[in-house]
Chain A
Amino acid sequence: MDFQAYNKIFICKDEIKNITVKDAVIGYEFKIKYPSYRGTFLSCIEALSFQVDGVEIPKEDVYFCLNNKQFLLDELKDCFKEYWFVRDKATIQVRKAGGISSGKHTVNAFLKHRVPYTGYFGEYLVLDSNVTETLVAE
């Protein structure tokens, strides 16, 4: 199946970092890349969700950060002027009081994305990237 090998770059191996404001730990963040050979427009993302240690993160607790901007997951479908360069890492910020404990965590990312040039006979190719990685929190 085309495109499948690109899933290897989806979840970046970078450490998970806690997000702190003064003394308060308000959440944590990790990084992902677009799993393809070329970049895409954020509007081609049809679904994006995450599980950490087997627990689904509510979408309202997730901020998608790219191109020096922060997006709600529900905003992505409208971002037809935002390009996700294939070598740029998007930061996924998760709001969670107290952040994440140090050590290993299982992160699952699920992306449903439309390949915008594939409508050879009508329908666009819509791909699923479903990847689980073990990441280390600082």
Chain B
Amino acid sequence: MSDIKFGITLYSFSTEYIHEKLDLEGVLRKARDMGYKGVEIIPAQMAPEYPYLSDEWINELKGLLDKYELEPICWSAYIDMGIRSDRDLTEEEIIQYTVNDMIYAKKAGFQMVRTQHAISPAIFRKMIPYCKQLDMKLTIEMHHPHHPEVEVWKEYFEIMKGEGKGYLGYVIDFSIYQTMPHQLYLNQALEFGCRPDKLEEIIALHQKKEDTSLKIAAAEQGDFNEIEKHTALEMFGKFSAPAKISQIKDTIDCCFYIHGKFYYLDNDDHDPCIPFEELMKELRDLGYKGYIASEYEGHHFDYTVDSEEQLRHFIALNTKLLEA
């Protein structure tokens, strides 16, 4: 038995939410009906008053979480560095947004805010007193294209293990372990004008064990149309350098939450894109205690896929792996 629990980010229901098939109450009811307990919300997505939230709306959210007996786990905040056309956000602005999110999250009953890499080590450190004052955890998501080798993360881990211990942490997003393009991506490539045989050729090239620069040269010189070249370069760029699962152990003590990211599953047994078998084994063996949020993200690529069915495959697959 492990202490790992599966939760859900409401973001998984983006298709249903933006197409107005489910509203906030609808996605919460659906999460409850599917058997989930712990939930994550993205207020920039589901709070109509964002970024300045009233107590009235926060109480409405709290009421719905109570009604459906859901546990508020993670409040997902953004560092929208590029809001302005003339410059990036200043330190004061980043602090303002981040502290506001921590206050709203606290009021809504959440104990953790997820923020993003752009917060910077200096500001991250400055958040420690606010975390202590509000008794809140603040975490940075490690999301593709970032990975543990990116320089700034060394500094982040130092802060998390040092003066921010217990309050500052990180969220692993499984996107950093993706090795292959998913089916919805491939379908879209065909829809945008890739010829099927050429797409096969690109995938074969991607799977070759040779240097990425050689693959890029082959794609540029090959008999490919513009969209095929674009697809090849995107595929080699995105999926050629997955993070090492063996590195998780070095920072597992700072990992407060996990995004169980996935894009498309057509069965309960295996995903050719993200190595769930190795991930679940490693997390269980390391004694990770906490939530893995089911995070379906195929909605970027195809609005006709049923999110609930995707989530059911995810839970079946990973529950089997954890119990194996």
Contact = CB atoms under 8 A, between A and B. Distances in A.
Contacts of B19: 8-9
A31 to B, nearest CB: 13
Interface string B36-59: 000000101100101100000000
Contacts of B45: 37-39, 86
Contacts of A83: 50-51
Interface string A33-51: 1001111010110100000
B303 A8 contact: yes
Contact of B81 (A9, A37, A46, A119): A119
Given A6-B18, A120-B146, A87 B118 contact: no
B81 A5 contact: no
Interface string A1-38: 11111101100000000000000000000000100111
Given A37-B45, A38-B42, A116 B82 contact: yes
B156 to A, nearest CB: 14
Task: Classify chain B's interface size.
Answer: 35 or more
15 contacts: A1-B301, A2-B300, A4-B188, A37-B11, A37-B18, A38-B44, A39-B44, A44-B82, A77-B85, A85-B50, A88-B48, A116-B81, A117-B79, A119-B82, A120-B145
A120 B84 contact: no
Interface residues of B, dominant DSSP: loop
A4 B18 contact: no
A124 interface: yes
A95 interface: no
Contact of A124 (B82, B116, B188): B82
Contact of B301 (A5, A78, A124): A5
A24 to B, nearest CB: 34
Contacts of A80: 83-85
A41 B116 CA distance: 18
Nearest to A88: B48
A1 B231 CA distance: 9
Contacts of A4: 188, 300-301
Interface string A57-88: 00000000000000000000110100101111
Contacts, number: 89
Contacts of B11: 37
B20 interface: yes
B302 interface: yes
Contact of B299 (A37, A39, A85): A37
Contact of A116 (B83, B192, B299): B83
A124 to B, nearest CB: 5
- In this complex, which of A77, A115, A117, A121 has the most chain B Cβ atoms within 10 angstroms of its Cβ? A117
Contacts of A117: 78-82, 116, 118
Given A1-B234, A5-B299, A87-B20, A116 B48 contact: no
A5 B78 contact: no
A43 B15 CA distance: 25
B260 to A, nearest CB: 17
A124 B50 CA distance: 22
A87 B145 contact: no
Nearest to B51: A83
A84 B79 CA distance: 17
The 10 closest A-B pairs by CB, nearest first: A116-B82, A116-B80, A38-B45, A37-B14, A77-B85, A124-B82, A38-B44, A5-B303, A2-B300, A117-B78
B117 interface: yes
A2 to B, nearest CB: 5
A87 B300 contact: no
